[in-house]
Amino acid sequence: MTPPSAAPGVRQAISRIIAVALCVFTLVEVNYPQLAPQSQLAVFALLGLVLCFLNVPLSHALKDHAAARALDLVLAGAAFACCAWVIVQTEPAFQAYWQSGMTLGNRAGFETPTDIIVGIIGLIVVIEAARRALGWALPLLGIIFLVYAYVGPSLPDWLFPHRGYPVDRIVAQAFLQAQGVFGVALSVMFTYVFLFVIFGAFLEATGATKFIIDFAQSVFGTSPGGPAKVAVLSSGLMGSLSGSAVANTATTGTFTIPMMRSAGFAPTTAAGIQAAASSGGALMPPVMGAGAYMMLEIVDPPVTYLQVIRAALIPAILYYLSLFLIVHFHARQSATSVTDREARARDGAAAAANLKKTRMEGGVFFTALTTLIALLVVGYTPFRAVTLSLAAIILVAAFNARTRLSPSAIVQAFVRSSRDVVSLIAASASVGIVIGIVTLTGIGTRLPATIVPLAEQSLMLALILIMLSSLVLGMGLPSAVCYLLLATLIGPVLGNLGVVPLAAHFFIFYFGMMSMVTPPVALAGYAAASIAGTNIMDTSVAAFRFALVGFTLPFIFVYRPELLMLSADGSTATWGEMVVPVVIGTLGVTAFAAGMAGYLRNRLSIGLRSGCFLAAALLLAPGPSVAFAGISLPLLDTAGLLVFAIVVILNGARSANR
């Protein structure tokens, strides 16, 4: 390790070497595994945690303090030692050093005192890394679960008491064995998520991000509210591959937020639109923030990749349609002068000219997207598909000097990828603690037994409670980590409520994503506020308001699984079964957007605006049906259609009378 007095440049150089090593190790080991699964994850965690302590200070106030910098090195050394112990005690190459002559896995339940000491230090290191990378929410949750495992017998009935476990059993479960830190959460990060982080970094390095912005401008640059529509479209395109709400906001928001402000949007509104649009990226196939691949591991009974992305498509389109319509109505509500139209025409012409200049970048983007989808569709594993798509990016980019990736650019992309994934590694390791304790204590099976009786009285009540739990538990967590945590804690609940399993997991996934724009901890809102220079809470509230339709969609597809292209029994829905729910959902989203913007064909009065919200509620809410002339007629949907039709007619008549 570098001594505390080492120059910052030395630490930075070491950090870059470790960052490149992390990327290269992951790409090679995922595709051509040489180590045991637990050793793979131990190396992955070792490199990630060391990077965390080298790059994320104890606190911003102490980032240049000598003692704090020395502590960073001590913790980095502790992370190295604890993870290395797991590797040495697992790999046959180190058999001479195995304690008791057995691997760590084979001595489960008979861990040595050294094992327990290493495990305790390892848990402290993981919790501190998560605190540095994400704040206190997730570390406190991990600590609470560790304490819960120990004090189980003394808990009251409403806190799910259990027989309790000694410290050595808790430490073994949470750190040493394969159900805790080195369990499914870290495995998903290693096998799927990090590869897509690298994929996105390479795509950005070729200039594909600039093409996405130019493409969106060429499509919407001349329409009312064009810059905001550019934000929606570009965020959807970027999110289809990255899925990270914060990264999406930081990448596209740098371009789109100033554009929206220059077009007359209030700074808070511009930042809120961008945060809401970026958060939807996790809903957009084919990557879904790696959520599609996590569902392959978790959903029971198992589903295929094509089933997952097919199910994700219609709700994602409805979410972005809602944002697009809100932006459109908001722009139309503002009087547009001839000068504004001329400016938009100039901007559109400039965007079209820029698009011609970035055709090569566009070729790289669409090559990456089509290669990835094609490989996944023909049956390649996700990690092999993204690796080959990465190779396709490098190959196609090499044909033009502007997109060609030099060795230094590749190293820089590796460094950026590793630093972006540090928080995910720390978070998934910390979530592993929670998952390990859930497995140990059995709370994962006892929680459903408490909530399921509520569903016997009202499925809606049970869903609302699960929604609130998801939003609270998801605060401050990356979308992928949030889904893993919630699927572990809440997934069994929905499985016992008679809900189609894939719809149940999408319900959890959506609300994990919506935590990105739910105050007070709205990470996408925070990122947008930092770019726009606006108040964090005001921006988060604005993002929450624009993304509100995302809070209704999960309830809709639980009651109407046809929106996920599924029948009520979980089989694939026919086109005939999907038509009515899709039309009703589209009209409901349109009514909701008009109510939010206060504009439809013309400005809406308070009464008509209320009518839009009423129509949206009736169209989007589940309800009974009655037989009429041999046709099953949904009462609430019919009422919603009538209310919305009246609003449209009255709003049009108001214009005619002017």
Q: Is the previous residue joined to 113 through a cis bond, with omega within 30 degrees of 0? A: no
* pLDDT in the model for residue 244: 67
Q: Is the pLDDT of residue 2 over 60?
A: no
* pLDDT in the model for residue 31: 93
Q: How confident is the model at residue 338 (pLDDT cuts 50, 70, 90)?
A: very low
**Euclidean distance between the first and final Cα of the chain, in Å?**
77
| pLDDT tens track for 55-88 | 999 888 888 888 999 999 999 999 999 999 999 9
* pLDDT in the model for residue 3: 47
* pLDDT in the model for residue 307: 86
* pLDDT in the model for residue 340: 54
Q: Which residue has the higher pLDDT, 266 or 612?
A: 612
Question: What DSSP character marks residue 567?
Answer: -
The SS3 assignment for 627 reads: strand
Q: What is the DSSP string of 371-427?
A: HHHHHHHTT--HHHHHHHHHHHHHHHHTTSTTT---HHHHHHHHHHHHHHHHHHHHH
Question: Mean pLDDT throughout 133-159?
Answer: 88
| pLDDT tens track for 194-250 | 887 888 788 888 887 777 777 777 777 667 777 778 778 877 777 666 666 776 777
Calpha distance 495→449 (Å, rounded) = 11
Calpha distance 220→187 (Å, rounded) = 41
Calpha distance 76→121 (Å, rounded) = 12
Q: What angle do CA 451, 430, 3 make, to 5 degrees?
A: 170
The SS3 assignment for 599 reads: strand
* pLDDT in the model for residue 5: 45
* pLDDT in the model for residue 4: 47
Q: What angle do CA 556, 562, 566 make, to 5 degrees?
A: 120
| Token pair of 223 as six digits | 């329409």
Tell me what percent of the residues of the chain surpass a pLDDT of 70: 86
Let me know if 113 is exposed, middle or buried by CB neighbors in 10 A (0-12, 13-18, 19+). Answer: exposed
Asked which of 39-43, 231-235, 344-348 is least confident by mean pLDDT, the reply is 344-348
Does the global pTM surpass 0.85? no
The SS3 assignment for 603 reads: strand
Q: Is the previous residue joined to 301 through a cis bond, with omega within 30 degrees of 0? A: yes
Of the candidates 509, 621, 479, the one whose C-alpha atom is nearest the C-alpha of residue 556 is 621
Of the candidates 483, 551, 23, the one whose C-alpha atom is nearest the C-alpha of residue 296 is 483
Of the candidates 83, 105, 109, the one whose C-alpha atom is nearest the C-alpha of residue 92 is 105
Q: Is the pLDDT of residue 264 over 70?
A: yes
Q: Are 457 and 164 in contact (CB under 8 A)?
A: no
Q: How many residues would you count in the chain?
A: 658
Q: Which residue has the higher pLDDT, 325 or 515?
A: 325
The SS3 assignment for 221 reads: coil
Domain layout of the chain by residue ranges:
8-184, 186-419, 573-658
Calpha distance 289→196 (Å, rounded) = 8
Q: What is the DSSP string of 139-169?
A: HHHHHHHHHHHHSGGGS-GGG-------HHH
